[in-house]
Amino acid sequence: QKEVEQNSGPLSVPEGAIASLNCTYSDRGSQSFFWYRQYSGKSPELIMFIYSNGDKEDGRFTAQLNKASQYVSLLIRDSQPSDSATYLCAVNGRGSNYKLTFGKGTLLTVNP
């Protein structure tokens, strides 16, 4: 079982819709969770991080964490064509092994 699982997509949504990106992880002791956006040919850039159960909102982005279900999601409201990218979920390990493990990423396409 891969440590961090994401649906590779592509996920296609119309402009203005809500895009929902999902991620599950296997290490129950994971401490922190990150969403990175990666445009084609570019490096990953951090858009959200979350440490506690519940929702965290930042502009059009909402991260949701459910540690009991080992599930983290990213919602993008009012999706724009400029949001079209691969979204990488990353999970930080527990204890002294703060290794950031990435999923394969979900390719999101927002259609005008």
Partner 1 sequence: EAGVVQSPRYKIIEKKQPVAFWCNPISGHNTLYWYLQNLGQGPELLIRYENEEAVDDSQLPKDRFSAERLKGVDSTLKIQPAELGDSAVYLCASSWGLVNEQFFGPGTRLTVL
The footprint of partner 1 (CB under 8 A) covers: 4, 8, 31-32, 34, 42-46, 49, 88, 90, 92, 97-105
Q: 3-state SS of the chain? A: CCCEEECCCCEEEECCCCEEEEEEECCCCCCEEEEEEECCCCCCEEEEEECCCEEEEECCEEEEEECCCCEEEEEECCCCHHHCEEEEEEEECCCCCCCEEECCCEEEEEEC
CB of 20 to partner 1, least distance (A): 19
Nearer to partner 1, 28 or 112 (CB): 28
CB of 112 to partner 1, least distance (A): 25
Nearer to partner 1, 48 or 76 (CB): 48
CB of 54 to partner 1, least distance (A): 19
Nearer to partner 1, 67 or 104 (CB): 104
CB of 101 to partner 1, least distance (A): 8
CB count, 10 Å around CB of 7? Answer: 15
